Amino acid sequence: MASMLLSRQLTCCLQQNSRLLVFGHRYISQAAAKIDVDFDYDGPLMKTEVPGPRSRELMKKLNGIQNAEAVHFFCNYEESRGNYLVDVDGNRMLDLYSQISSIPIGYSHPSLIKLLQQPQNLSTFINRPALGILPPENFTEKLKESLLSVAPKGLSQVITMSCGSCSNENAFKTIFMWYRNKERGHNNVTKEELESCMINQPPGCPDYAMLSFMGGFHGRTLGCLATTHSKAIHKLDIPSLDWPIAPFPRLKYPLEDFVKENQQEEARCLEEVEDLIVKYRKKKKIVAGIIVEPIQSEGGDNHASDDFFRKLRDIARKHGCAFLVDEVQTGGGCTGKFWAHEHWGLDDPADVVTFSKKMMTGGFFHKEEFRPNAARYPHLISRVRGRGTFCSFDTPNDATRNKLITIARNKGVVLGGCGDRSIRFRPTLIFKDHHAHLFLNIFSDILANFK
């Protein structure tokens, strides 16, 4: 496999020479000329220095409407194929960076072009479905065929997102809701929580944190950025959150010469993780989750041992924190397994795994217990309970309860009360699924309009 060949040859070559690999300097691999994908080019072809004159001209133009300082060069994507990126000056380069790890099977892959031209797929881009409320007919089936067919072990649920940052942001939120529900123990959201959350204050907005690692990169929106610590330029001048940051192991290479030192280094970092969880808890800031990359990419390709990650997973479980593995850059096959964290051999799977880039969509997998079960009307409905059809729930007080019963009756549904604030269901034994749906539709409307 190309990835094994690359990693072995690179490791070998770089270690022996202790200098940078210069392509064209000499043959690294004897099979360098082999073309194994039909639509691939047969090698680099350089016509100008890069950026060439056309790229420089375009940079100047772009700089008129946005800061273009970070642009490397301009590309001709229609001419780019397979492993080769073609620039606007006609230079064809073997691309080992692939849009920061975002091209799964090469540029302009014929299968992808064919796929996107299908009316159903074109329709998705043009008709911008609001997936949460109006999904297309094949949504479940497509998720099962694609994302869920490669879901990490133990994670049966999947949510899609547009980008890696949104994937992590929403994974954090899923974790915070899960943690709060655990703390609450039941579904009884208080009036104080509902009111305080509207003005950004606890208890409605609890003082929860994600623990992250120095050198990690998890995106650049404000929540993600509070867990990103790779480069100052990403963070400078942006307000942040006081969330705990643990050291990530700095391993010495070659690994076989530093076995003991590296074990000590990893132990030191793990100890710091536990210390931080405890220290932050003492100042009333709860670590709801730990986020980590299998390989810190943006931060310098920093690795840790499988043992380190297994122990980190154990620490998360021990302290009741969710364990979130950010596979945005490592996922999709490039580490030799579909998900990099599969190398670790975890007994207990990760709780949440985020992805984007090579997956060609953002999103995250999670365990079933992380489904947001926060009710849609927590200010009206709580303590939902029942056996069979013998069900009930609580409302905030008897006035609300009685009003709900009256409104329902006028919409054609008879409900009964019990206790001082409960509504109970006591249907007959010939109550079927469609009756339940009928009720749920009517009651859902009532709740939506309730004032």
Residues 346-405 that bind a second copy (CB under 8 A): 357, 360, 371-374, 376, 378-379
- Can you read off the two tokens belonging to residue 175? 């974790």
Nearer to a second copy, 164 or 294 (CB): 164
414 binds a second copy (CB under 8 A): no
Q: Is 171 exposed, middle or buried (0-12, 13-18, 19+ CB in 10 A)?
A: buried
Distances in Å between the Cα of 401 and the Cα atoms of 194, 417, 422 are 19, 8, 7
Among residues 6, 158, 408, 415, which is the contact residue for a second copy, using CB under 8 A?
A: 158
Please provide residue 326's backbone torsions phi and psi, each rounded to the nearest 5 degrees: -90, 105
415 binds a second copy (CB under 8 A): no
Nearer to a second copy, 34 or 432 (CB): 432
- Can you read off the two tokens belonging to residue 87? 């620039």
Distance CA 352, CA 323 (A): 6
250 binds a second copy (CB under 8 A): no
136 binds a second copy (CB under 8 A): yes
Q: Minimum CB separation from a second copy for residue 10, in Å?
A: 19
Residues 69-88 close enough to bind a second copy by CB under 8 A: 69-78, 80, 85, 88
Q: Which stretch binds a second copy (CB under 8 A): 111-119, 263-271, 306-314, 317-325?
A: 111-119
Distance CA 360, CA 228 (A): 22
Distance CA 128, CA 445 (A): 26
122 binds a second copy (CB under 8 A): yes
Q: Which residues pair with 291 in a beta bridge?
A: 324
323 binds a second copy (CB under 8 A): no
235 binds a second copy (CB under 8 A): yes
169 binds a second copy (CB under 8 A): yes
Please provide residue 210's backbone torsions phi and psi, each rounded to the nearest 5 degrees: -105, 135
**Contact present, 326 and 218 (Cβ < 8 Å):** yes
Among residues 1, 236, 429, 448, which is the contact residue for a second copy, using CB under 8 A?
A: 236
Q: Minimum CB separation from a second copy for residue 260, in Å?
A: 27
Q: Minimum CB separation from a second copy for residue 351, in Å?
A: 16
**Contact present, 250 and 268 (Cβ < 8 Å):** no
221 binds a second copy (CB under 8 A): yes
Site map 33..72 versus a second copy, x via CB under 8 A: ------------------x--x-x-x--xx-xxxx-xxxx
Q: Is 216 exposed, middle or buried (0-12, 13-18, 19+ CB in 10 A)?
A: buried
Number of residues that bind a second copy (CB under 8 A): 119
Q: Is 114 exposed, middle or buried (0-12, 13-18, 19+ CB in 10 A)?
A: exposed
Q: Is 422 exposed, middle or buried (0-12, 13-18, 19+ CB in 10 A)?
A: middle
Residues 2-31 close enough to bind a second copy by CB under 8 A: none
Please provide residue 189's backbone torsions phi and psi, each rounded to the nearest 5 degrees: -75, 130
Among residues 3, 188, 240, 397, which is the contact residue for a second copy, using CB under 8 A?
A: 240
Nearer to a second copy, 108 or 305 (CB): 108
Q: Minimum CB separation from a second copy for residue 110, in Å?
A: 10
Q: Which stretch binds a second copy (CB under 8 A): 110-118, 289-297, 304-312, 333-341?
A: 110-118
The residue among 403, 349, 301, 408 whose CA lies nearest residue 155 is 349
**Contact present, 4 and 336 (Cβ < 8 Å):** yes
Site map 417..446 versus a second copy, x via CB under 8 A: --------------------x---x-----
